[in-house]
């Protein structure tokens, strides 16, 4: 089955701890994206990567970091610098062609206690 | 700046038609999209329309695009309880593939 996987589905962490969210795709897509979703806020772009070993900040990158060492993987680290990390995090991928669209993973709900 | 606007809530009765509206600001957007999100899940692409089209129909879904007014709508015919979800409108204004999303319209279908 081709698709995007995110793990875990639910994640709990204590305040002040860094946490890494996993995103893997086997669609052979070039571009990958991380969004944050809060109730009534829609989706806000955190980071994106259009090619391996390269990534750019989105609208709300502060307190987050990413890496793109492999085409299939785009992990997101939520650092202790992120003031309000409790949210639903969505990963997406796209081939990079303008005629294509973004495909989303199932999401990870992070709760910081 | 870039902004996509949608009303936040819509309630319909089962069997009726639902119309979800969206306005966008970037006239250079080449594609416009509708996504569906069920509770606790990721976004699922429903349909998209190329900017040189006025209408696209796909089974119970009809997308209308008024490029002059920058207005996009999604009509769901014979709405079912399984259509209850949040529907996001999105535009693709640039060459990098980054989508701009609306805040989503929560559709509630009453039996």
3-state secondary structure of B66: strand
- By C-alpha distance, the chain A residue nearest B31 is A99
- pLDDT at residue B93 in the model: 76
- pLDDT at residue B38 in the model: 94
CA dihedral for A20, A25, A30, A34, sign (positive or negative)? negative
Choose, out of B4, B38, B98, the residue to mutate when testing the contact with A (most A CBs < 10 Å): B98
- Cβ contact A15:A86 at 8 Å: no
- By C-alpha distance, the chain A residue nearest B8 is A40
B40 at A interface, C-beta within 8 A: yes
3-state secondary structure of B44: strand
Q: What is the pLDDT along chain B (111 residues), one digit of tens a residue?
A: 568 999 999 999 999 999 999 999 877 777 899 999 999 899 999 999 988 889 999 999 999 999 999 999 999 999 999 999 999 999 887 656 678 899 999 999 999
B46 at A interface, C-beta within 8 A: no
What integer best gives the mean pLDDT of chain A?
92
The single-letter DSSP state of residue A47 is E
Q: Residues in chain A with pLDDT < 50?
A: none
Q: Do B42 and A105 touch (CB under 8 A)?
A: yes
The Cα–Cα gap between A111 and B18 comes to 34
- pLDDT at residue A100 in the model: 66
- pLDDT at residue B29 in the model: 76
**pLDDT tens digits, one per residue of B25-50:** 877 777 899 999 999 899 999 999 98
- By C-alpha distance, the chain A residue nearest B32 is A101
Radius of gyration of chain B (CA): 13
């Amino acid at each position: 089955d081709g698709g995007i996987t995110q793990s875990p589905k639910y994640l709990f962490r204590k305040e002040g701890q860094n946490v890494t969210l996993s995103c893997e795709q086997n669609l052979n897509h070039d571009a990958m994206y991380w969004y944050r979703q809060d109730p009534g806020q829609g989706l806000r772009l955190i980071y994106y990567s259009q090619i391996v070993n390269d990534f750019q900040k989105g609208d709300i990158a502060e307190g987050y970091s990413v890496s793109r060492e492999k085409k299939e993987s785009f992990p997101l680290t939520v650092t202790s610098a992120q003031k309000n990390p409790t949210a639903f995090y969505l990963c997406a991928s796209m081939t990079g062609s303008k005629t294509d669209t973004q495909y989303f993973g199932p999401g990870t709900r992070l709760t910081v206690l | 700046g870039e902004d996509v606007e949608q009303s936040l809530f819509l309630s319909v009765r089962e069997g009726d038609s639902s119309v979800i509206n969206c306005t966008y600001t970037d006239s250079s957007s080449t594609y416009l999209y509708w996504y569906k999100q069920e509770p606790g899940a990721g976004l699922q692409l429903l349909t998209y329309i190329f900017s040189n089209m006025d209408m696209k129909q796909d089974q119970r879904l009809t997308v209308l695009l008024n490029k002059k007014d920058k207005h996009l709508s999604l009509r769901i015919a014979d709405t079912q309880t399984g259509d209850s979800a949040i529907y996001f409108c999105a535009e693709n204004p640039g060459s990098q593939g980054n989508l701009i999303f609306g805040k989503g319209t929560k559709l509630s279908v009453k039996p």
